[in-house]
Amino acid sequence: MKIAIIGAGNMGMSFSKSFLKYELIKPENLHLITRNQSKVQNISEEFPKSQISIFEEVNDLEADLIIIAVKPQDFKNVAENIHFKLKENQMVLSIMAGIKIEKIQKLLNHPLIVRAMPNSPTLLGMGITGYTSAEGISFSQLINIERLLNSTGRSVYLEDESLLDGVTALSGSGPAYFYYIVDAMIKAGMQMGIDENLSKLFVKQTMLGAYHLINNSDKNLEELIKDVASKGGTTEAALKTFEDNNFKEILQKGILNAEKRAKELNG
């Protein structure tokens, strides 16, 4: 399989590294395309056996799969300035937030589109990606796409494309919510006089341990909370403050606003 990736940002690079790490493609069958001339040197050093091109200079594209990894706001401009003609059997995988399959098909004048929403832990091979596809994509083609996506973590196929905006808000943006809460906890530790590095250690290890408890316990989340929050104790005091200030509702509202923004990106 030959793969071309348009957009050499974090996500495009992490996909490339995963494909090569798990030997899903050969380095010489990877073509990285950037619109930024200043990035070429660094990309070439990182992928010495792969082809590196400037977007405007690509007049023909020999690839079985073309991955669109540009910012959704830039897609219209990219689509209007493509100098190569998409071949009938070429597959396109979009990892842009919000841009629907129908719009991608229209702007590229091409039917074979798979749309996916990964998240940043793909950098470590620990991401999760929701994906869906246009009509006309065969089962075997989807299996090939899934193999590629699974190299970056896990993937889930969605029959209903409209759910992908929710996936974008929940898991695509989700790591930032997690970092936001972690940052607040670290700063609270510092306010209590704990050294910053020590506060980071306590919080990060607490989050790691809590994650493993969620995965390995038979108890649901409410039960796990009750295990920590004894009557009249310190945890209960914190949780009461969260409830009094509608923290859960605020967090949920933020996620719903992220979904709303994903829908707006389609134009």
Burial string for 151-189 (b: 16+ CB within 10 Å, else e) reads: bbbebeebeeeebbbbbbbbbbbbeeeeeeeeeebbeeb
Binding residue numbers: 6-11, 34, 69-72
Binding residues for NADP(+): 6-11, 34, 69-72
142's tokens: 């989807």
* Axis-axis angle for helices 247-264, 234-244 (nearest 10): 50
CB contact set of 37 (below 8 Å; sequence gap of 6+): 54
pLDDT at residue 267 above 90? no
- The per-residue pLDDT for 214 is 96
Phi-psi label, residue 156: left if phi above 0, alpha if psi -120 to 50, beta otherwise: beta
- Beta strands across the sheet bearing 153-157: 51-54, 30-34, 3-6, 65-68, 91-94, 113-117, 127-133, 153-157
In the chain, what are the domains?
A: 3-160 (3.40.50.720), 173-265 (1.10.3730.10)
pTM of the complete model: 0.91
Residue 184, pLDDT above cutoff 90: yes
Write down how long the chain is: 267
Mean pLDDT of 218-245: 97
CB 152 within 8 A of CB 129: yes
Residues with Cβ within 8 Å of residue 122, at least 6 apart in sequence: 11, 14, 15, 18, 129, 152, 153
Distance CA 12, CA 39 (A): 13
CA distance 106 to 126: 33
Q: What is the pLDDT of residue 8?
A: 85
pLDDT in tens, 37-92: 899 999 999 999 999 999 999 999 999 999 999 999 999 999 999 999 999 999 99
Q: Alpha carbon 48 to chain centroid distance?
A: 25
Check if the beta carbon of residue 86 is closer than 8 Å to that of residue 107.
Answer: no
Residues 97-124 have a mean pLDDT of 96
The closest alpha carbon to 57, from 87, 88, 81, belongs to 81
The pLDDT, as a whole number, for residue 3 is: 97
